[in-house]
Amino acid sequence: MEFKAILKSPQKLAINEAIRTARFVRNKVLRFWMDNRGVGKKELYRYNTQLRDDFGFVKDLNSHACQASVENVERAIKRFFDNCKNKVPGKKGYPRFKKHSRSVEYKQSGWKLSPDKKSIKFTDKKGIGKVKLKGTW
């Protein structure tokens, strides 16, 4: 199944803001890990919660989308250590900051598909709203 989103100009701006927020969370969590070596998964998620309290624009993004950004950092860290442990030749892939991220990941909540599957509604406070979908089911 493949769909194309038909967006209005304010929706494009809202989606770009959501992408920038997810990238901000990812980079801040990665910096937290770099500054505090030895922190585990729980501390990364706690820091994510702290970011939501400190920055209002992060609180506007759906909590699961923020957690998906933390999971991406976690996956990058794990891949780096696995490459080091398995002695993969060449560069080991040290986790990097992202400056050209193009996606935000809504997993279980934060969106609702219409019964006729022709639109999707985003329910977080970023203001994306209802997006029409064009394609075949």
3-state secondary structure of 136: strand
Tell me if 70 sits within 8 A of 29, measured CB to CB.
yes
**Does the structure show a pLDDT above 90 at 11?**
yes
Can you give the residue ranges of every domain in the chain?
7-111
Average pLDDT over residues 34-58: 95
What are 111-124's pLDDT values in tens digits? 999 999 899 999 99
Distance from chain centroid for Cα 20: 9
Tell me if 76 sits within 8 A of 87, measured CB to CB.
no
Distant-in-sequence, close-in-space partners of 8: CB < 8 Å, separation ≥ 6: none
Whole-number percent of the chain with pLDDT over 70: 99
- Pairing between strand 111-113 and 2-6? unpaired
Average pLDDT over residues 40-67: 96
